[in-house]
A and B are shown apart, each in its own frame.
Chain A
Amino acid sequence: MKAPIQVASAAPAPEAPIVVNGLTKRFGHFTAVDNISFSVSSGEVFGWLGPNGAGKTTTIRMLLGLMRPTSGSARVLGFNPATQTKAMQAKVGYMSQIFTLYNDLTARENIRFYGRVYGLSQEEVKQRQAEIIHMAGLEGRENTLTRDLSGGWKQRLALGCAIVHRPQVVFLDEPTAGVDPNSRREFWGLIYAMSKKGVTVLVTTHYMDEAELCQRVGFISQGKLVAIDSPAKLKQTQMRGQVLEIHSPTPDLVMRALQNARQAKAIPLDEVALYGAQIHAVVPDARQYIKSIQRLFESENIQATSIEWIAPTLEDVFISSVTRPADPAQNNGVLRETVTGVSK
């Protein structure tokens, strides 16, 4: 085995492909993106998550050079998206949730069209056509009209068109909405195939199980970056409270008792919700409040088969991070106050 080559005092470490520094965007008095800083490293699959209206898309628009920041800066592949838009866009791919494919063109024609738009030569287009058809598993469907392709095919074709010019950074905005689980799996296979080749991927999604597939995720809420880490780490560090799962032959009685206790502030319950035949309750401290809940059930003569402290899902963590606890007196499992009031 060769000894690793020591590179002493070589060039400074190359800048990360996406670097965001104090990025801010205001629309009048409304701050859509509020002083956000993060970076994404080369070949990383980074999830960008937040409720609607939180500033996700505004951030992506600024990174794509479609919108200028009010203050702060962004650098994509060393370019300033606001001023070096053209040069940057030649190396960046973008796929939006509405696949921008031409329905009356065939799969092959769509690829050719996008190849020409990106200024590829005839030769390159030919080569890329074959590669993308193969990558997207579209063999045998090259000449099918796009409108006749099912959701999963269309989605992979849209990705193929977005990367026809071999971008080094790819932005995917909710790319898998409405696609069946199998196709979603295949799509994520493609994302990781790109990442293995060093392509950096920033992806937004409403599917929390997809967020689990990202190497790192950032949560944005009301314009602010509230958490950023690997999904596993976020589950350890970001959950406000602990989740209890309660099994009972009479879940409706359990729900009523816990909601009353919540409203009366007898037990500090962050959330009480029915999950199938079980109830999930979020409390500040599992050990302590399992006992309080047991006492409550005894006094109200409610049967519970078990009360277990369970691991939070990424969705639990996400909701905990992006919401403030609602006022228990307000009732009804409404999780947030301020966010709901924001209109676009």
Chain B
Amino acid sequence: MEIAIFATDLVKTFRTRKGPLNAVDGLSLEVGRGETYGLLGPDGAGKTTTTRVILGLLTRTAGKSSILGFDSMHDTYAIRERVGYIAQQFVLPADLTVIENMRFFASVQGMSPEMQEKRIPELLSFAGLSDFTRRLAGQLSGGMKKKLALACSLIHEPQVVMLDEPTLGVDPVSRREFWNLLGNLRAEKGVTIFVCTPYMDEAERCNRVGLIYSGRLIASDSPAAIKRQVKGHLLELRPGRFVPAQAAVTGLPGVLEVQTYGDKLHLFVDNVAQRRPQIAAALAAQDISHDEIREVEVRMEEAYISLVHRREQAGPEERKAA
């Protein structure tokens, strides 16, 4: 695999009132050319800082990082030429129209008017914005703004695009459209795509994902492989009395972990056939009614919660070793 994005033992320390804070804390990752890599984690996990350090917008405290072989700190110009970036708070000039925005970004990139003639219509068509060229950017819907931002970031035909929470606050329809654009970009041009997102279900759109927690990766692999990392099988049931049921099943032999899921309980067990009747018996003993105990598929969200949970339970020594 040819490496497009590389980081090893990356550390970024901020000085705060309460002392030094490692926003990125020994993070290592590799993204292959043509891959779509998702950096998944909640607010404050270190997604944005990681992206900015790799892009060379922030200086790193320790470790190494590069894009397409160019060092983040020393080859920033080479990186800028080859990488597109959409920051989270990225705001397009609201009083420029769609096409004026495109021309503006093209000029900033030093593109000749002839090239612009050719490239801009292509990109507008790609982003599904051809019918909206004269609309002011400020009057676009949230989803269309994101598409325009993507089109602008692609103007210099970058080989790598890095997107920081591009679908935050966007409705599910626009979110799906945006991801379809990214899929087309990868399929048609082989562009390497690096996306930060708090949406766990977006993992399914990526070849590989890294789960980030407290500035470190707690897993980095294909979505299927990460879900397999979670030990045990997942059972789901809806108890009549929730809190007593939770207490009754927690700590039963073979029950590895109990998660709440709305009015349902999710139980990771070592063996379905063996544990299902034992769980039913434990609930019956306390007179707690429940519906059928079904085996369900582990999704990325259960995997994330489980991996974080098990990491927090592990001692500090183990945590260091992991």
Q: How far is the CA of A179 from the CA of B36 in the complex (A)?
A: 24
| Given A178-B168, A273-B180, A332-B128, CB of A255 within 8 Å of CB of B187 | yes
Q: Are B204 and A177 touching (Cβ within 8 A)?
A: no
- Residues of chain B at interface, number, CB under 8 A: 59
- Min Cβ gap A48→B in Å is 13
Decide if A284 is an interface residue (CB 8 Å cutoff): no
Per-residue contact bits, chain B 176-213, to A (CB 8 Å; 1 contact, 0 not) = 11011111101110100000001111011111000000
B177 — nearest CB in chain A belongs to which residue? A335
Q: Which of B100-108, B156-164, B257-265, B277-285 contacts A (4 or more CB under 8 A)?
A: B257-265
Per-residue contact bits, chain B 127-141, to A (CB 8 Å; 1 contact, 0 not) = 110000000000111
- Min Cβ gap B263→A in Å is 4
Among B169, B183, B206, B223, chain A packs the most CB atoms within 10 A around the CB of B183
Per-residue contact bits, chain B 224-240, to A (CB 8 Å; 1 contact, 0 not) = 00000000000000000
| Given A150-B44, A185-B261, A332-B125, CB of A276 within 8 Å of CB of B174 | no
| Given A52-B174, A181-B301, CB of A332 within 8 Å of CB of B223 | no
Decide if B171 is an interface residue (CB 8 Å cutoff): yes
Q: How far is the CA of A286 from the CA of B263 in the complex (A)?
A: 34
Q: Are B187 and A274 touching (Cβ within 8 A)?
A: yes
- Min Cβ gap A230→B in Å is 13
B residues 116-174 in Cβ contact with A at 8 Å:
125-128, 139-144, 168-174
Q: Are B173 and A209 touching (Cβ within 8 A)?
A: no
Q: Are A276 and B198 touching (Cβ within 8 A)?
A: no
Contacts of B206 in A (CB 8 A): 276
Q: How far is the CA of A277 from the CA of B42 in the complex (A)?
A: 24
| Given A192-B242, A192-B263, CB of A209 within 8 Å of CB of B183 | no
Q: Are B260 and A188 touching (Cβ within 8 A)?
A: yes
Q: How far is the CA of A195 from the CA of B242 in the complex (A)?
A: 12
B residues 243-278 in Cβ contact with A at 8 Å:
259-263
Of B44, B173, B179, B203, which is within 8 A of A323 by CB? B173
Decide if A299 is an interface residue (CB 8 Å cutoff): no
| Given A181-B301, A208-B172, A318-B172, CB of A333 within 8 Å of CB of B177 | yes
B40 — nearest CB in chain A belongs to which residue? A181
Decide if A186 is an interface residue (CB 8 Å cutoff): yes
Q: How far is the CA of A130 from the CA of B199 in the complex (A)?
A: 34
Per-residue contact bits, chain A 258-275, to B (CB 8 Å; 1 contact, 0 not) = 010000000000010111
Among A52, A186, A191, chain B packs the most CB atoms within 10 A around the CB of A52
Decide if A241 is an interface residue (CB 8 Å cutoff): no
Decide if A256 is an interface residue (CB 8 Å cutoff): yes
Q: Are A342 and B141 touching (Cβ within 8 A)?
A: yes
| Given A252-B186, A334-B128, A335-B173, CB of A209 within 8 Å of CB of B168 | no
| Given A51-B172, A52-B174, A343-B139, CB of A274 within 8 Å of CB of B42 | no
A210 — nearest CB in chain B belongs to which residue? B262
Q: Are A188 and B261 touching (Cβ within 8 A)?
A: yes
Among A191, A255, A274, chain B packs the most CB atoms within 10 A around the CB of A274
Contacts of B177 in A (CB 8 A): 333-335
Q: Are A251 and B42 touching (Cβ within 8 A)?
A: no
Contacts of B205 in A (CB 8 A): 274-276
Contacts of B125 in A (CB 8 A): 331-332
A residues 188-230 in Cβ contact with B at 8 Å:
188-189, 191-193, 195-196, 206-209, 213
Q: How far is the CA of A113 from the CA of B190 in the complex (A)?
A: 56
A-B contact pairs, 14 of them (CB 8 A): A52-B171, A151-B44, A180-B45, A181-B304, A182-B305, A185-B260, A186-B260, A206-B169, A251-B187, A274-B205, A275-B205, A276-B205, A276-B223, A315-B176
Q: 4 closest Cβ contacts across the A-B interface?
A: A180-B42, A333-B180, A274-B183, A213-B262
**Which residues of chain B have a CB within 8 Å of any CB of chain A?**
36, 41-45, 125-128, 139-144, 168-177, 179-184, 186-188, 190, 198-201, 203-207, 222-223, 242, 259-263, 299, 301, 304-305, 308-309
